[in-house]
Every structure is written in C-alpha cells, then in structure tokens.
Amino acid sequence: MSFKLENYVSEYPVSDKTDSYGHYLKIDKVLFEGRSKYQNMKVIHNGKFGNVLILDGFFQVSEFDEHLYHEPLVQTSMFSHPNPKRVLIIGGGDGGALEEVLKHSTVERAVMVELDAGVVEISKKYFRSVCGDAFDDARTELVIADGRKYVENTAEKFDVVIIDLTDPFGPSKMLYTKEFYTAVSNAMTKDGIVALHTESPLFTPKVFNTIIKTLKSVFRYVNIHVGFVNTYGVVWSFGNASNSIDIKEINRQELEKRETDRGVKDLRYYPPKLYPDIFGLTNQVKSILEEDAAVSTDKNPLEIKLRAEKS
C-alpha cells in the first residue's frame, strides 16, 4: 500500500535520524499549530488515536491510549501510599496525571507545576477527554513556573510526587539529575513516594539505565515496570522510588481496600491488586540494568540524543 508522506506525521525514536525506524500517524486534520515561549506545539486528529499532542516533533499524548501512560505513571504510587493527602505534579501540562491523582478521595491538595502555560491552554481546549475537569477542581493549584526551582524552594512536604516531563533534553535534562532527585526527596514526607517515566529500555537502554542508576543513588527502594504505549510505538517504562515504601511488599488485600475506601473508579489499566506482579522484569531489561552507567549530575547531566525528524 502506498501513501503520501506529507499526509503523515512521524516520530523517530532513534538517534541517527535515518529511515531505519519511523512511527507514523496519518493526519486527518491539523487542529492547532503554533509556538509557545518554549516549544513548537501541534494538535492533529487521527481516525484511530483521536486528538494527538505533538511537542517539538515528539508525540506526547493521544486520546486513544493516554491511560496506558497516565495510569501506570500515577496510580502505582498513589496506591502505594497509605494516605496520600498532598500531591505534587511536576510537568504534566496535558492534565492527565492530575486527573488520575484526583480520583483518590484522600487527596486534599494537588499542586501542579508546569513550565509552559501554552500546553495547559491547548490541553484544556483539545484534550478534555484526558484532563476532564481536573484544572477546575477545588483541590488543584496550578503554578506556572520552573519545576526544579519550585521543588528547591518549597517548604511544603508532599506524600506523592509525580514527575511527568518531556525527554531529558533542553531544559528538562536538569530534572533528571541526582541533585534534582535529592531536592525531590527533601520535599517529600517520611513515607513519601515519587513516580516518573524512565524512557524505553529497548530503544534507549543507556538512557533508561542512567535514570535508574541515578534514582538508586538517592532512594532506598526503586521499582520499575514496563508496558507498551501505542502512541509512542515502543515499550515504555515507569519508576517508583521511596526511602520507606516498597510497593512489591504491600498486601494485595490492602491495595483492594484502598481502591474501595478512596472511591477510585474508571481504571482501565491493571487493577491495584495486581501491582505487586507488574514489577517483575524480563531478562533483557535486567541485563540492561547490570551494565555500568554513570549517575546523571548537574555537572554532567544526562541528555538524550533523540530528535524528531519532522513534526
């Protein structure tokens, strides 16, 4: 079957920018195209994926499978904490992580710190199926600011911290360092837990390994789980880190009880009672983590070499 390439948008999750691999989505309609203060923004509509947000040429979220990213990112850590009242979200301008956090009745305050106000406004208009009414919830405080500066300067302690960032390049690379993770740890309560995406172990194994090594240099417990995200076209990974909570040791019945007691509904990913099981790793992923990798630091930050071919 042939197609006109100009009718498609592509993302290249390879570093050599060749034709060795490309992930394509057909553009049925361009809904928005412009530039914020920080990045190029595009919203397209695709017959299968619905509305798709593209930032600097990289697919960020689609209506079709956003739950395959936001639920594993957020819910594993939310259910790990016995009573999450105060939650900090760094990034996550599409509002999907915020919407997942607010499903828990225990949450009294959810602070979302997003650098780019433009992404928030685009998401409110084109991705209501992703963010719902999360931005209008009385428990939400939206702060347009640098996430790292906020973490370093806040005196507040959070039960759960969700880090929902773009890949580690440009300004984002300084939010993948040991110093940043240390600042996050200092902003957490004694039983605090942090969640973040940790890139693709198959397409960017060295980047994945570096992030995990960096987390382990700060936190006592670091657990990883993987899953396929259709919009990205790759196996993706998620990390949970804490100095007091090991999710694999939480009783299944307790996880079910938390789901019921908090009134959490409409979960489309794994039910909480299965969370201890999803942290098992394949031999391939284990072998990646057995390789040496330098810890990312402010002086020598991790910077991913991926670049999208076109947007």
Rounded Cα–Cα distance for residues 211 and 66 (Å): 23
C-alpha separations of 199 from 31, 82, 204, 227, 234 in Å: 28, 27, 7, 11, 10
Among candidate residues 164, 167, 246, 277, the one labeled active-site is 164
Rounded Cα–Cα distance for residues 311 and 190 (Å): 43
Sort strands 109-114 and 140-144 into parallel, antiparallel or unpaired: parallel
Rounded Cα–Cα distance for residues 53 and 232 (Å): 12
The residue to which tokens 């919203």 are assigned: 43
| Sheet of strand 50-55, all strands in order from the earlier edge strand to the far edge | 29-35, 40-46, 50-55, 58-62
How many helices and strands (H and E) does the chain possess? 10, 13
Determine contact, residues 164/98, Cβ cutoff 8 Å.
no
Rounded Cα–Cα distance for residues 77 and 194 (Å): 7
Task: Please give the structure tokens belonging to residue 96.
Answer: 């999907």
The torsion of the CA quartet 21, 62, 139, 245, rounded to 10 degrees, works out to -40
Rounded Cα–Cα distance for residues 187 and 26 (Å): 43
Q: Is 283 exposed, middle or buried (0-12, 13-18, 19+ CB in 10 A)?
A: exposed
94 counts as catalytic: no
Residue 287 main-chain phi, psi, to 5 deg: -65, -35
Residue 195 main-chain phi, psi, to 5 deg: -125, 145
Catalytic residues: 164
